[in-house]
A and B are shown apart, each in its own frame.
Chain A
Amino acid sequence: MFLLTKTKQVSNLFSRAFSPLYEFFVAILDMLFGIIQRLVGVRGMPYVFVLPNLLIFGIFILFPMLLNFLYAFTGGSSFLPLERPWVGPANFERLLLCENYLEPRTCSEDLFWRAIYNTIGYVFFQVALMVLFSLLTALILNRNLKARGFFRGVFFYPVLLSPIVVALIWKWILQENGLINGILTSLGRDKIPFLVNAQWAQILIILISVWAFMGFYTLILLAGLQSIPADLYEAAALDGANAWQSFSRITMPLLMPTMVVVLVLSLIRAVQVFDIVFAFTGGGPGTATLYLVQYIYNYGFSSPNKQFGLAAAASLLMAGVLIVLTVIQMLAQREEN
């Protein structure tokens, strides 16, 4: 509390010192944009506003994504597109050539298919657990409890950590000679091979992702909960509804739009999972936690003999699927509205 008042004082001090300056700059920009507006007219102004963002976006995001097509249809290990020989759809053929699509080992690029199946499993369980835990936490934080702000902060804190640090911390705890196994041995139990057993590794990756991001979704759900008018519950209580009834008839339906947001956001993040896994298991043991983005990264950047074409082809296939998913989701939302 003391700190809070202190920061307020400091910021007040700052803004008092700077506000004349601020006013000055606002005035200058006013003039500048006034001139622009006179040149392009009110109708031209939206273009002026959107331009800086669009330029950066076009040059550094969109254009590189389009360049990926060029890489995908060329081969060789050169990084300069013009020095790469044209190979047509060869890279796609390599990726998609399978005797039996359900059996990765029969595929020409067996790792690509393993990565796909691993990613599907991860996304499904991670999203389910993420929604479940954030909902539970949000419901509890929405109750009339002491130190709510503090607890809210606690659950949010890991969101601020870099994925590399998250992986480092957990590896440090779960490794064979780590904290948990130390505790187990001192209790006379056997060590558990957390990181080297395929099932454990897959489960832990999911739990750690939930640990790292759930605070964010909890806050969103909390906001959704708080926007539900309290008198609805009071009315339900008067009608003799029990706790479960008011949860299932009031809370859940009214929370649905927020849930959809959470679902979509966590789905996008889950499909893109990379840094945490990369630093935590490196895709192992074997290929148990090899997910799509890491597959692409391994071929495109980290391999000593880089196969940019294959990586680009894989990323285009992935982007295609993702865009289809987004569109489906948008259509679904539109239906709902």
Chain B
Amino acid sequence: MNSTLSYLTRKKGGKKLGLTDVLSYVYLISGVVIMFGPILWLILSSFKTSGEIVKFPPRFLPYRQQTAVVEGYPEPLPLYSVTLADGTTQTLAQVRRVGLEAQLVDPVNPGNLIKVNINQRQPLESVYFGLENYKEGIESFNFGLYLWNSIVVTVTATLLTLLVNSMAAFALSKYKFRGRQTIFMVMISTLMVPLSVVLVPVFLVITNVGWNNNLLGIIVPAAATPTGVFLLRQYMLTIPDELIDAARIDGASEWRIYSQIILPLAKPALAVLTIFSVMWRWNDFLWPLIVLSRSEYFTLQVGLASFQGELNVQWNLILAMTVLTLLPITFIFGLLQENITTGIATTGLK
């Protein structure tokens, strides 16, 4: 009992690898498999052809059928491993297939047409990480433009969010003024209401403001997130007021107090809000889908959705493009992993 439970407690400077350590590592490593396995599967699938994607049972790696250029045939022919009537197997190239019969030739000696039942041939395949899905995906929509839009939206919306939220949080945490409680309570109570239930009225407002089909329509409305204000305010409350008083005595203006004292001290909270804002804006789907209907303003997520028709879904392209949208955020996370995770941890979200 003791040993199994001791891993629940903090341990200082334990040198030898106890049972609890082993259990911990087992847990963490299975965590890696469970967290990353699905993403790896997505990546592998994104290299498969649309035909291979629907095959069952699925195979881990993407395959392509081997082909050979055979004399007398303009196109490369697909290769099969064929079990012949005498029981031997041979690699043959298929010329055509008629019903249940396949007509093949020997690629080395193409004169002689061999006819076999289609069940007697197995396609010769090799692992192949082809970029066809990526190429077709990028070509079939304006990838560069959508990427640019996504970046513009993410960067400007994040900066705007940081600015207005931190200003409001500063006022709400460091001043006593009439209406402060009311403003804070109203913001907090909307914290719980999801945007998806007010889509219709928000759309009405956007249309009247004239931001329909305008990137501003997705940048500005989300900038005043109550979550951000709440998070920053809670953090700023922990900054001692004495610093501000001292600065005032030195004659600093309120803006200077905000920009030179509060902001640098609230850095961990700002870092957390930054990554959240980047994440929200980059992944935002429902809102851009509603505001934007002209392709020159599409963001990546909206462009991605246009692979879904009424009747058909182009899975191979969706998977490949999804992998592409994951790249930037994964890259940023990979670079700033340490900062982000410690940032969230140190904010503490009190």
Contact = CB atoms under 8 A, between A and B. Distances in A.
Interface of A: 3-4, 7, 26, 29-30, 33-34, 37, 42-43, 45-47, 49-50, 52-57, 59-65, 67-68, 71, 79-81, 136-137, 139-145, 149, 151-165, 168-170, 172-173, 177-179, 181-183, 185-186, 211, 216, 219-220, 222-228, 230, 233-234, 242-244, 246-247, 251, 257-258, 261, 265, 268, 271-272, 274-275, 293, 296-297, 300-301, 308, 311-312, 314-315, 318-319, 322-323, 325-326
Q: What 3 A-B pairs are tightest by C-beta distance, nearest first? A: A162-B283, A33-B255, A53-B168
Nearest to B39: A169
Contacts of A80: 204
A314 B200 CA distance: 13
17 contacts: A60-B205, A61-B226, A65-B190, A67-B204, A79-B203, A80-B204, A140-B7, A143-B10, A143-B20, A157-B330, A160-B333, A162-B325, A163-B283, A223-B344, A301-B200, A319-B192, A326-B191
Contacts of A308: 200
B51 to A, nearest CB: 13
Interface of B: 1-2, 5-14, 20-21, 24-25, 27-28, 31-32, 34-36, 38-39, 41-42, 45, 54, 56-58, 163-165, 167-168, 170-172, 175, 177, 180, 183, 186-194, 196-206, 209, 220-224, 226, 229, 253-256, 258-259, 279, 282-286, 290, 301, 318-319, 322, 325-326, 329-330, 333-338, 340-341, 344-350
A271 B56 contact: no
Contacts of A34: 253, 255
A198 B13 CA distance: 49
Contacts of B198: 61, 64-65, 67-68, 315
A179 B41 contact: yes
A135 to B, nearest CB: 10
B229 to A, nearest CB: 6
Contacts of A68: 197-198, 201
B202 to A, nearest CB: 4
B200 A165 contact: no
Given A56-B224, A80-B204, A144-B14, A226 B345 contact: yes
A45 B35 contact: no
A243 B8 contact: yes
A47 B56 contact: no
B189 A4 contact: no
B327 to A, nearest CB: 12
Given A65-B190, A182-B58, A30 B256 contact: yes
A145 B31 CA distance: 15
Nearest to B234: A261
Given A65-B201, A219-B345, A326-B189, A53 B165 contact: yes
Given A144-B12, A154-B36, A53 B346 contact: no
Nearest to A300: B200
Nearest to A225: B10
Contact of B199 (A30, A145, A297): A297
A13 to B, nearest CB: 15
Contact of A149 (B9, B45, B165, B341): B341
B182 to A, nearest CB: 11
A265 B348 CA distance: 13
A279 to B, nearest CB: 9
Given A61-B221, A219-B341, A246-B9, A296 B196 contact: yes
A49 B24 CA distance: 48
Nearest to A10: B335
B204 A42 contact: no
A297 B199 CA distance: 8
B196 to A, nearest CB: 5
B253 A153 contact: no
A136 B335 CA distance: 27
A220 B344 contact: yes
B255 A211 contact: no
Nearest to B34: A211
A251 B58 contact: no
A318 B197 contact: yes
B186 A62 contact: yes
Interface centre among B21, B186, B198, B334 (most CB of A within 10 A): B198
A203 B23 CA distance: 26
Given A37-B254, A45-B175, A169-B38, A151 B337 contact: no
B323 to A, nearest CB: 10
B9 A52 contact: no
B32 A54 contact: no
Given A142-B10, A234-B12, A300-B200, 18 more contacts: A45-B255, A47-B177, A49-B170, A61-B198, A64-B205, A149-B338, A155-B31, A157-B333, A160-B333, A161-B326, A162-B283, A172-B41, A181-B57, A223-B349, A230-B12, A243-B6, A297-B196, A297-B197
Contact of A185 (B9, B57, B193): B57
A256 B66 CA distance: 62
Given A65-B190, A223-B347, A143 B24 contact: yes
B343 to A, nearest CB: 9
A312 B5 CA distance: 51
